[in-house]
Structure 1
Amino acid sequence: MKKALLSIACLGSVTAFAQKTDSVKTSSVEEVVLTASRKKENIKEVPSSITIVNEKQIQSQISVNSDISSILQYTVPSLGPSSGQTSNSGQTLRGRQVLVLIDGIPQSTPLRNGARDIRSIDPSVIERIEVIKGSSSIYGNGADGGIINYITKKNTSDKKITGVSQVGITGQPYGGTLGARASQFLAGKSGKFDYALSLAYERTGYMKDGDGVHLTPTYSPAKMDNYNGMLKIGFDINKNQRVEASYIGYASKSDLNLGLKTGKYGITPSIGEGIGQGLETTPQGTPRNHNFRLTYDNSQIFKNTSLNINAYSQDFRTVYGYSNTFLNGGQSNIISKKYGVRANFDTQIFNHQNAQLEVIYGADILNDQTVQKLEDGRYWTPDMNMTNIAPFALFKLDLFKKITIKGGLRYENMKVKVGDFNTLSSLKADGTFTQSIFVKGGDLEYNALVGNIGVRYNINNALNLFSSFSQSYSINELGRILRTSTESTISNLEAKPIIVNNYEFGATGQITKWLNYEVTSYVSTSKLGASFIQSADRAITIQRSPEVVYGVEGYLHFSPSKWVKFGGSYSWLEGITSLNNDGDYSAKINNSRISAPKILAYVQLQPTKALSVGLDMLHSFEQDRFTPNAKTGLYTYGEGYVPENTIFNFRSSYQINSNWKASLGIENLFNRTYQPAIAWWNARDTEFVNALGMRGTFMVEYKF
């Protein structure tokens, strides 16, 4: 079965489309990527599919919606659709979990995945977003589907001070929906010192659907205060050495005061009503996400060798809404603290005219302390303390300025200390509660050798071929397994890791000065994957079984003249599993991971040098992969039918002069009343919700 699917992936010949915006160049020759090899390199040297969302694209999308999960769904073909809420549940990459980084600092909480990692920074501070698609071990635990790395802004000028100021308002054609945002970026250089400072604030109003009805208060981004701050200070010791210290902080808190009126799945959406009836005692959101980083670079630590050391820490807490699924109800928090060091040596082995070889080697050390607790102090998961020490070595061989061969090995060595705890009594389908049990803690150990190998052959401008094999290694949602324990000791639990093998083949190129393309096919396999399913007692549990995920994606980008650009992307994937581990892959991975095929399309017009207008379209196809229960007629979690859907967004900007610019964006241009994909596949009354109706954003920017 796997051989057959791998053959399908290697054939991968489809006509496909990918979204670009007014900022896209007609050639990617000068594009560089930092994340793929932990160092800056030309994108034409990378033997895998990468999406880079640059600063102009980000700014253009901010004029429509500043929610970064929305920005990514319109710019990354193989990323699942946004929920439109504070949670990024279901927003998988190629059908698997994604590792989110900010300047290389991990934001994801794989020990207890809270689905708040994508929405962990304000987009105004981001210089570019690099999305590495396919399983990867290069940054450690959690990158089964790939990596999203938010790379923040830095100083790029020799002036003592430069800056960008932005103010804007948002609103819908209904009362009470007015919101506002403002951001300030300052940067400069004085002697050997340079700095970058950013502050951003956003206040959202009530959010309503296309009929002017309040959206559900569950995971709602309405009536929320969002804060973001960044400070970077760098010092050039000499021409070879540099140190840099940075802080990036994000916080979001909601004072939404709506009660929940539960609807009926597939018929009537759940909505917010009754101002003043909110159940939360603590504001929903992420009250803190503090990231500190200290970097040392030496381009000549010894002959032909450079050194990069990153020391970092993260302090994260997120708060969820009220839930009555456990005895006495309440709100829960996920609290995570990370401390880590990454050390990279980069040695040029030889550098001849037709052959260059370099080796990157070093080690990563990470300590991750995660727990999920209720506001009243009860533990939903035990304290989990993971230490990961991972030495690695990567090599890159360039031949004849056309062929690049890359490979590497990484040894994962993880130890997790689990504290003693009592499980919570949770609500069962018959209205009774399960019995709380005591679980004796202990130590869990994981280790594995994972690797990658890839080849890229740049035949000419019109045809570049790449093929790769890569692996990832992840501890599977340990917290969720532990909090639903039925065993009294850690040693009896099913907590084996996930190892994913990813195979990819693709082609990219620039056929003419005004047409470039990429098409990619892939297969990823795991001997013991993990999917969320609903148990007989309504609880969401984890199903462990062999898996295969495969798909295709690609883009076409046309720029026939200076004043018009258009194009789009297409992505499709499927996932199958062997429930009994008997080689029968007739069962399908549910829709919580396998999103519907989607088309992203755009047109960008610039009739004058100052004026730019664009239209984006997102079309999700119908997803009818499962049948409802024969007796009840109801779908189970993750298997709900998802209808097709098409949404248009409008964005525009006018460059008043060299300093001033105004922009106007309209989300859901035709004010459609519809439900996001998660509302359908969730197949639960409380989760059947409408999406945001038409909303406009007007912004003014001053650059100096």
Structure 2
Amino acid sequence: MSMKPLAAAVALACISLPALAWQEPEQKEEAEMNSVVVTATRTAKAVDKIPGAVSVITQQELATQYLIADDPSQALATYVPGYAPSRQKMTSTGESLRGRQPLILFDGIPQSNPLRAGMREGYFADSAIIERIEVINGASAMQGMGATGGIINYITKTPRTPGTSYTVNARLASQFESDSLDWKTGLTVSHKSEAFDMLAYASVQRRGMGYDGSGRRLGIDNVQGDTLDSHGNDLFVKIGKSFGDQRLQVSLNRFDLSGDGDYRNAPGVVAQGVPTSSEPGTPVGMTPRNRVRSGSIDYRHAALFGGALTAQVFTHDFESLYGATNTSTFQDRSIAPVGTLYDQSEVVADKLGSRITWVRPDFLAQGLELTAGVDWLKDHTQQRLAGTNRTWVPELKFRSLAPFLQLEYEIGPVTVRGGVRHENATLDVDTYTTLAAYGSRRVEGGSAEFSKSVKNIGAVWRFLPGWSAFAASSEGFGLPDAGLVLRGVNVPNQSVSSLISLQPIVTRNNEVGVNWRGAKGQFGLSRYDSRSKLGSVIRITSAGIGLVERVPTTVKGWEANAEWRLMRDWSVFGTWATTDGKTAATQGAPMDLDLGARSQGPDKAVLGANWRLRPQAQLRLQASHLRDRDINIGRRVGTSNLEEHFKGYTLADAALTWDSAYGRFGLSIENLFDKQYVGYYSQSASAVDPTATYAGRGRTFALSWTRSL
């Protein structure tokens, strides 16, 4: 099958960039290369010394993308080649990284909930406080459990200028319908002095409804949660003090996002291709919401025993309430007649943990760097039915202690790195009884212990000024959705300790790639092969119940990203990714099933250009293309229909920013040509569900204003 025009254009740009790169002076290329440093690898490293594919989304890129759409997952889908398309909902089901789940961090604090993945981890902080996003692509154990697809680390802003400043920001977005207004306003206080530094931020946000390219009101997800017809607020404080070689910092974040409950889901007509819509009305029960509370104490000593010590103690409390439904799973004759009982699911996850890292350069020999440390985590997660106070998933008491050791040796233009992390984990579950829909089965409590060493090895060769090539093999450690396993027990005489489905997922990612970075731009191309012998695939039965299947999975793919400054005021950029995920129907069966939309995104290409109209103004144009995908034709496993169809589409956006004496203004148009389309996940995984075939946003205008005082 031939590539679509947009994908071909990106590929052509990627092919032509290396030839153009030779025009740059060596000194400028090296300076540009060394200026890009990431910290998600546990210690600050220049990208040309990391054996792997790394993406860094800068503050300027984030500001432009958030002007177009204030949607964290849409920013990732734009800038990270292997990230699946955004669903434009509060729930992020299907938003994977390279066909697997990433570990999401917020200043190093884990936001993901792998024990009971409610897929609500995408909304935990206001976008205005994010300085940059670092993405480590591929399985990794550097930051602990859950990074089978990679690491996404959101890093908050830090005061840079001495003195005290106040910044006001506001954003308005509308489709010029009476109920389509979005608005957000926030205040930032920044202080930096010899005594201490501080960043404080408070915001309030209200989101209206949206309309598709045909002018039809978008469908609202009253059960899983939606950003339509919602309100939110965030309060963030970070205070630090440096004294000599040491620094102490405390940060707190309080984030809330909740639906308003003014609209109800209006089913579409699948046979006629009419997508889901919404109508005024009050849904049953409490509105869906996210409630996130996190905090950390960070300590750094830059000269301890010849090395640098960093230590973090963190806490993270997460609650996600889902909307009311009378699904058959919630029915119980002892409470109400079958079909009349509405109930609401709520996932509660509380984490307490610590991370200690010590980095010693020139350890025993010149050029040999030692990184050592230990992580500790206590994670208590449960899922209950809030309306009737019933247990759906019992409290999962997880403990993990993981020491790690890594050596890195630099020999001229070559950097070699290898390390090992030993996970010692225990999962305790008390005796519980499943819901009536599963037969009210009594499950004997017990423990499941895991002890596993996960390794990484890789090398980078800087073979020419600005050019580097890498080869790496790394492992990531995770668990299947333990809550989904335990809540669905429907046979008698089961015990937690005997459930094989609770065995860990160890994913190995093998990857090779080449990178160039110079004064005029950058280019990267990589090929990866990710395998897990005992993976975790969620399949939906004909009754709409999710089941975890422990079968092997393999994901292979190509990724490319490029940026080139054509001249002083012009630059172009692009990303391209093709992903091929395979699994088996059962253990031992052929690996001939394609991964569905729950696990894998379609092939994707993004192409854009930046034009500085004048010193104070910049215009950005970008387009993203998703390729058609038709998989598993006629295939079923049990009662699960695995056949999926997706008709791809291309969307274009535009954004203009300009500085004035009254502050920085921004104007954007999302979906510039008002394209009518149904999202990837809705077309593929929810194609036969009239309540979940959601169209995407039509043309949307946004205006922003930021001013520092």
Give the TM-score, by structure 1 length.
0.91
* CA distance in 1: counterparts of 2:564 and 2:508, whole angstroms: 34
Partner-residue secondary structure (3-state), 1:606: strand
Query: Mapping of 1:387-406 within 5 angstroms?
Result: 387-400=399-412, 402-406=413-417
CA contact (8 A) 1:51 1:76 kept: yes
The residue identity in structure 1 corresponding to 2:147 is A
Query: Mapping of 1:517-536 within 5 angstroms?
Result: 517-536=523-542
Residue 423, structure 1, aligned to residue 434, structure 2:
yes
The residue identity in structure 2 corresponding to 1:363 is V
The residue identity in structure 2 corresponding to 1:312 is F
Structure 1 unpaired stretches of 5+? 1-12, 427-433
* CA distance in 1: counterparts of 2:178 and 2:556, whole angstroms: 46
Query: Mapping of 1:40-51 within 5 angstroms?
Result: 40-51=44-55
Q: Which moved more, 1:334-343 or 1:515-524?
A: 515-524
Residue 379, structure 1, aligned to residue 391, structure 2:
yes
1:442-483 Cα shifts (integer Å, max 9, x gaps)? 111111011101100011135310110000111110000001
Which residue of 492, 499, 512 maps to 1:505? 512
In structure 2, the CA distance between the partners of 1:605 and 1:251, relative to structure 1 (3 Å rule), is: same
Equivalent residue for 2:318? 316
Query: Mapping of 1:201-600 within 5 angstroms?
Result: 201-218=204-221, 219-236=225-242, 238-265=243-270, 267-279=272-284, 281-286=285-290, 288-302=291-305, 304-325=306-327, 326=329, 327=331, 328-350=341-363, 355-375=366-386, 376-400=388-412, 402-426=413-437, 434-487=438-491, 488-493=494-499, 494-510=501-517, 513-582=519-588, 584-600=590-606
CA contact (8 A) 2:11 2:576 kept: no
Structure 2 unpaired stretches of 5+? 1-9, 18-27, 332-340
Shift of 1:272: 4.0
Partner-residue secondary structure (3-state), 2:534: strand
In structure 2, the CA distance between the partners of 1:407 and 1:629, relative to structure 1 (3 Å rule), is: closer
Shift of 1:589: 2.1
Total equivalences in the alignment: 665
Which residue of 181, 186, 211 maps to 2:184? 181
* CA distance in 2: counterparts of 1:418 and 1:17, whole angstroms: 51
1:486-529 Cα shifts (integer Å, max 9, x gaps)? 3432133222111001001000114x753531100000111111
1:122-151 Cα shifts (integer Å, max 9, x gaps)? 110001100110001111111100011100
Shift of 1:671: 1.4
CA contact (8 A) 2:379 2:398 kept: yes
Equivalent residue for 2:338? none
* CA distance in 1: counterparts of 2:63 and 2:279, whole angstroms: 36
The residue identity in structure 1 corresponding to 2:400 is N
The residue identity in structure 2 corresponding to 1:497 is P
Shift of 1:269: 4.1
CA contact (8 A) 1:260 1:270 kept: no
Residue 86, structure 1, aligned to residue 90, structure 2:
yes
In structure 2, the CA distance between the partners of 1:528 and 1:15, relative to structure 1 (3 Å rule), is: farther
Shift of 1:265: 3.4
Partner-residue secondary structure (3-state), 2:535: strand
* CA distance in 2: counterparts of 1:463 and 1:349, whole angstroms: 25
* CA distance in 2: counterparts of 1:153 and 1:202, whole angstroms: 20
Shift of 1:638: 5.7
Equivalent residue for 2:695? 690
Q: Which moved more, 1:571-580 or 1:387-396?
A: 571-580
* CA distance in 2: counterparts of 1:497 and 1:174, whole angstroms: 49
* CA distance in 1: counterparts of 2:396 and 2:14, whole angstroms: 43
* CA distance in 1: counterparts of 2:480 and 2:276, whole angstroms: 34
* CA distance in 1: counterparts of 2:634 and 2:465, whole angstroms: 50
Query: Mapping of 1:148-187 within 5 angstroms?
Result: 148-159=152-163, 161-187=164-190
Equivalent residue for 2:673? 670
Which residue of 641, 648, 661 maps to 2:664? 661
CA contact (8 A) 2:402 2:424 kept: yes
In structure 2, the CA distance between the partners of 1:46 and 1:163, relative to structure 1 (3 Å rule), is: farther
The residue identity in structure 1 corresponding to 2:409 is L
Moved over 6 A (4+): none
The residue identity in structure 2 corresponding to 1:557 is E
* CA distance in 2: counterparts of 1:605 and 1:416, whole angstroms: 54
Shift of 1:324: 2.3
Equivalent residue for 1:5? none
* CA distance in 2: counterparts of 1:581 and 1:84, whole angstroms: 35
CA contact (8 A) 2:420 2:454 kept: yes
Q: Which moved more, 1:675-684 or 1:575-584?
A: 575-584
1:64-98 Cα shifts (integer Å, max 9, x gaps)? 11111111111111100100111111110000011
CA contact (8 A) 2:147 2:477 kept: yes
* CA distance in 2: counterparts of 1:522 and 1:573, whole angstroms: 10
CA contact (8 A) 1:217 1:256 kept: no
* CA distance in 2: counterparts of 1:594 and 1:417, whole angstroms: 31
* CA distance in 2: counterparts of 1:67 and 1:28, whole angstroms: 30
Partner-residue secondary structure (3-state), 1:545: coil
In structure 2, the CA distance between the partners of 1:396 and 1:583, relative to structure 1 (3 Å rule), is: farther
* CA distance in 1: counterparts of 2:532 and 2:548, whole angstroms: 15
Equivalent residue for 1:10? none
Q: Which moved more, 1:360-369 or 1:620-629?
A: 620-629
CA contact (8 A) 2:665 2:703 kept: yes
In structure 2, the CA distance between the partners of 1:582 and 1:14, relative to structure 1 (3 Å rule), is: farther
Equivalent residue for 2:198? 195
Pick the structure with more helix per residue.
2
* CA distance in 1: counterparts of 2:102 and 2:207, whole angstroms: 27
1:208-264 Cα shifts (integer Å, max 9, x gaps)? 22233222221321121121121111122x311111111012110111322222224
Shift of 1:357: 1.2
The residue identity in structure 1 corresponding to 2:91 is S
Q: Which moved more, 1:125-134 or 1:176-185?
A: 176-185
Shift of 1:586: 2.1
Shift of 1:204: 0.6
CA contact (8 A) 1:637 1:681 kept: no
Shift of 1:383: 0.6
RMSD: 2.1
Partner-residue secondary structure (3-state), 1:592: coil
Shift of 1:684: 3.3
* CA distance in 2: counterparts of 1:308 and 1:109, whole angstroms: 25
In structure 2, the CA distance between the partners of 1:14 and 1:276, relative to structure 1 (3 Å rule), is: closer
CA contact (8 A) 1:340 1:365 kept: yes
* CA distance in 1: counterparts of 2:274 and 2:153, whole angstroms: 35
